[in-house]
Amino acid sequence: MISRTHTTIIFAILPLVIVGLFLVNLWFGSVPIDWKDVWTALFTNGGVSTAAQIIVVQYRLPQAITALSVGVGLSIAGLLLQTTFNNPLAGPSVLGISAGASLGVALLVLIGGVAGSFMSNTIAIMGDLAMVFAAFGGALIVLLIIVFVSGKIGNAVTVLIIGIMIGYLVSAVVGTLQFFSNSEDLHAFILWGLGSFSKTSNLQSMSILAITTIVVFVVLIFSKPLNALLLGKQYAISSGFNVKIMQTVLILIAGFLIALDTAFTGPIAFLGLAVPHIARSFFKTSNHSILIPATALIGAALALGCNLVSKLPGYDASLPINAVTSIVGAPIVIWVIIKGRRISNG
Amino acid sequence: MGSSFIDSQDVILKLRGLYTGYSSSERSKKHLHNNLNCEVKKGELIAILGPNGAGKSTLLKSLSGIISPLRGTIDINGKDLKKMSNKEVSKEISMVLTDKIDDRYLTAYDIVGTGRYPYGSFMGKLTQYDKEKIENSFNLLEASELKSRYYINLSDGEKQKVLLARAIAQDTQLIFLDEPTAFIDSPGKVVIMNFLFEFASKYHKSILMTTHDTELALNFATRLWLLGKNNMFVDGKPDVLMKKGMINKLFDRKGVTFNAETRRFESYP
C-alpha cells in the first residue's frame, strides 16, 4: 500500500500533465502554429479570424476535448466492466462491445443512410442522437450476451475468447451489410470505423465532455458497491447490496459510455481495458473511491498522449488512432494475462 | 413459568418447517433437508457437522438469504427473512464464506471496511465510529499488524483472521461461518475456536459454523447440529449426542469409528 502523501502527489501531478498535453495538442499539428497564436485564438472572442485561429478553435480544440472525454469515458467503462464481471480482461473493445456498437451504427448508416457528422444543424443533432441510440442498442445486445456467458462460465479467459468471437461474428454481419450498401454510405461508415478523435464539432465535443463529466460523478456514488463486488457476489450481498440490481445499473452505465464515445469517434481499441490496470499499478489500490478519479485522469492523459503520437508524422495524414492505442494497450493485456493469478483459477 | 419469558427473549433465529435445497432448473429440485424446526439463542456457538455434500453450506446460505429455501420460514429477531431487504439482513447477519478473494490490491483494512457498509449512506465515507469499530475488530483478533497489508499476500490463517474481523466489524447479532478452520494449522484452529467461543459468550453473539473438525467442535461448541444424508438432522449438546453414538451414526463409514472415550476417530481392522 502506498502512503497517503504519495497518492496526493500523483493526484496533484496528473491534472498538470493533462493540461500540458491538452495545450501541446492545440499547438502541435500538420500546420505549424506559434504558441502566441494558440493563446490569442483561445482567449480572443471574435475579432480577426486568422487561419491559425480557425485551425486551433475549429479543428484542434474539439479534437483535444473529444480525445480527453473519450479517454475518460472508455476507461471508466472498462473499470466498471472489470469490477462487475470480476474479470481483469474485460473492456469495451475486447469483449466485442465496441463491435456491437459498430453493428448498431452500421445498421443506421448503411441501411438508414444517416450519418450525423456529415449533416448540419437540427438534423445533425437528430442524427447524433440516432447514432448514440443505435450504438447503445448494439452495445447492449453484446453486453447481455456477455452477462449470460459470464453467469455460465467462471473462467475469465474463456469469457474473453467468447467475447472476441462475438466481435468476429458481429464484424461479419457488418461486412455483409457493407456489401449491400451504396458507395456513399459505405464511405461514411468506413471512415467512422477507422476511429478518430477529429470528426467532432465544437458543440459535439463539448456535449461529450459535459455528459462524461456527469457520468463520472454518478459512478463515484457507486464506490462502495463496486468495492464490495471485488470480494465476490456473495460477500457483496452480505454487505447489504442488491447485487443483481447493482450489476445491471453498472453495466448499463458502462454500455452508455461506450455507445456515446463510439458513436462519435468510432471504435477505439484497448484504451478502456488498459487504463484501469495502469491506475491500479500507479496507486497500488483497488479502492474505487481512489480508482475512479485515478482511472478518469489517467484515461484523459493517455488519450491526449495517443492523439499527439498519431499526429507525429506531421504531414497532412496522421496515424490511425487505433494503431497508437493498440501499441499501448495490447502489451498491457499480455502483461495482465501473464501476471494475473486470478485468471487461471477462474 | 418465569424463565420461559426470558428464554423467548433470547431466541434470535427460528427455523419453522424449513426445507433446504436448491433448484438447478424449474423441473429438477434437489432437496437436502426437510421440515427443520429449531431455534438459536444469544451466546450460542453452534457447530454444524456432517459429511461432504450433506448440505451444510446450503443450510448456512439459506439462513442468510443468499439462496432461498424451498419451503418454510426463517425468523430473525422476530422478523421474516423473506420480507427483509439485503441491507436489513446485513445488519443482523455477518458471514465468512469459503469464496476466494483474489483481487491484487485490496488491503486487509479495505476488506474489514466493507463490514461497515450496511451502516453508512450509499456513498458516504467511513465515519469516525466506523473506523473505531474496524480498529476494535483488528485488536480483538490481535491482527492490527495486518491492516495495511495486501490481503492476497497473507497466509491462510491471516486471511481467516481478516475475514473474521470483517464479520465482527459488521456488528451483527448473528455470525455465520462456513468452514472457518479449513486450511489452517492445528494450533491456529484451536486459537480460532477458542476465540469464537469466548466472543460468543462474552458479547452474547450467536455463531453458527460449519466444520469438519469434529473433535474441536465437540470441545468448543455449545451445541451441535448434525447434518447427514437422507434428511438426517439432529440438534443437541455435544456430550449428549456423543454418548448417544450420534457422531458415529452421522459419519457412518466402514473401517472408521468414533470413540466417545477418547473423543477421536479411530480405525478398526
Calpha distance A254→A139 (Å, rounded): 10
List pLDDT tens digits, range B194-218. Answer: 999 999 999 999 999 999 999 999 9
Set of chain B residues whose Cβ sits within 8 Å of the Cβ of A231:
99, 101, 103, 106, 111, 114
Set of chain B residues whose Cβ sits within 8 Å of the Cβ of A242:
85-86
Record: contact B105-A345, CB cut-off 8 A = no
A224 close contact with B: CB closer than 8 A: yes
- Region of poorest pLDDT, from A32-46, B191-205, B216-230: A32-46
Record: contact B94-A289, CB cut-off 8 A = no
**Cβ atoms < 10 Å from Cβ of A2:** 13
> Which residue of B66, B110, B149 is in closest CB contact with A234?
B66
- Chain A nearest-CA residue for B148: A1
Q: Which amino acid is at B162?
A: V
Helix H or strand E encompassing A58: none
What pLDDT, on a 0 to 100 scale, did the predictor assign at position A343?
A: 45
Contact B89, B53 (CB under 8 A): no
Record: contact B87-A240, CB cut-off 8 A = yes
Calpha distance A9→A295 (Å, rounded): 15
* pTM of the predicted structure, to 2 decimals: 0.89
In DSSP terms, B175 is beta-bridged to B94, B207
What pLDDT, on a 0 to 100 scale, did the predictor assign at position A121?
A: 47
What pLDDT, on a 0 to 100 scale, did the predictor assign at position A311?
A: 87
pLDDT at A166 over 80: yes
Q: Count Cβ atoms within 10 A of the Cβ of residue A320 and give its class: 0-12 exposed, 13-18 middle, 19 or more buried.
A: middle
Record: contact B104-A237, CB cut-off 8 A = no
The cell numbers describing B78, all together, are 422476530
- Interval A256-271 mean pLDDT: 90
Confidence bin at A210 (pLDDT 50/70/90): very high
- Per the structure, the count of domains in chain A is 1
- Chain A nearest-CA residue for B86: A240
- CA angle B223–A240–B225, rounded 5-degree value: 15
Contact B91, B98 (CB under 8 A): no
pLDDT at A174 over 80: yes
Confidence bin at B3 (pLDDT 50/70/90): very low
pLDDT at A162 over 90: no
> Which residue of A220, A221, A239 is in closest CB contact with B114?
A239
Question: What DSSP letter does each residue of A265-283 carry, written as one string?
Answer: H----SHHHHHHHHHHHHH
What pLDDT, on a 0 to 100 scale, did the predictor assign at position A116?
A: 42
List pLDDT tens digits, range B110-142. Answer: 999 999 999 987 666 789 999 999 999 999 999
The residues in A 278-297 lying below 8 A from B, measured between CB atoms, are: 280, 284-287, 289
From the CA of B206, how many Å to the nearest CA of chain A? 17
pLDDT winner (highest mean) among A172-181, B50-59, B91-100, B236-245: B91-100
> Which residue of A1, A238, A341 is in closest CB contact with B90?
A238
pLDDT winner (highest mean) among A29-38, A72-81, B58-67: A72-81
Which residue in A82, A216, A229, A231 has the most chain B C-beta atoms within 10 A of its own C-beta, making it the best mutation to test that interface?
A: A231
Q: Is A252 or B162 the better-scoring residue by pLDDT?
A: B162
The 8-class DSSP code of residue A55 comes to: I
List pLDDT tens digits, range A122-133. Answer: 556 667 788 888
Calpha distance A103→A258 (Å, rounded): 13
Mean pLDDT value across chain A: 85
Cα torsion at A21, A22, A23, A24 (round to 10°)?
40
pLDDT at A246 over 60: yes
Of B141, B225, B222, B133, whose CA–CA distance to B172 is shortest?
B133
Give the whole-number percent of chain A exceeding pLDDT 90: 38
Contact B21, B70 (CB under 8 A): yes
Question: Half-sphere exposure of residue B171, counting CA atoms within 13 Å on the CB side?
Answer: 14
CATH number, domain containing residue A202: 1.10.3470.10
Confidence bin at B25 (pLDDT 50/70/90): low
Question: What DSSP letter does each residue of chain B carry, written as one string?
Answer: -HHHHHHHHHEEEEEEEEEEEEESSSS-EEEEEEEEEEEEETT-EEEEE--TTSSHHHHHHHHTTSS--SEEEEEETTEEGGGS-HHHHHTTEEEE-SPPP--SS-BHHHHHHGGGTTTS-SSPPPPHHHHHHHHHHHHHTT-GGGTTSBGGGS-HHHHHHHHHHHHHHTT-SEEEEESTTTT--HHHHHHHHHHHHHHHHHHT-EEEEE-S-HHHHHHH-SEEEEE-STT-EEEE-HHHHHHTTHHHHHT--TTEEEETTTTEEEE--
Q: Is A270 or B174 the better-scoring residue by pLDDT?
A: B174
Q: Which amino acid is at A123?
A: I
What pLDDT, on a 0 to 100 scale, did the predictor assign at position A227?
A: 94
Contact A295, A276 (CB under 8 A): yes
pLDDT at B8 over 70: no
pLDDT at A325 over 60: yes
Which residue in A224, A238, A336 has the most chain B C-beta atoms within 10 A of its own C-beta, making it the best mutation to test that interface?
A: A238
Give the whole-number percent of chain A exceeding pLDDT 70: 90
Mean pLDDT value across chain B: 89
What pLDDT, on a 0 to 100 scale, did the predictor assign at position A345?
A: 41
A228 close contact with B: CB closer than 8 A: yes
What pLDDT, on a 0 to 100 scale, did the predictor assign at position A261?
A: 92
Record: contact B117-A228, CB cut-off 8 A = yes
Residues of B with CB under 8 A from a CB of A: 61, 64-66, 85-87, 89-91, 93-95, 97, 99-107, 110-111, 113-115, 117-118, 120, 122-123, 125, 148-150, 170
A58 close contact with B: CB closer than 8 A: no
**Complex confidence, ipTM:** 0.91
Of B156, B161, B160, whose CA–CA distance to B142 is shortest?
B161
What pLDDT, on a 0 to 100 scale, did the predictor assign at position A315?
A: 61
Record: contact A224-B120, CB cut-off 8 A = yes
Task: For A12-48, give one letter per residue: b (16+ CB within 10 A) or e.
Answer: eebeeebeebbbbbbbbbeeebeeebbebbeeeeeee
Sign of CA dihedral A236, A238, A241, A244: positive
Contact A131, A263 (CB under 8 A): yes
Residue ranges making up the domain that contains A201: 4-344
pLDDT at B53 over 60: yes
What pLDDT, on a 0 to 100 scale, did the predictor assign at position B33?
A: 81
What pLDDT, on a 0 to 100 scale, did the predictor assign at position A211?
A: 96
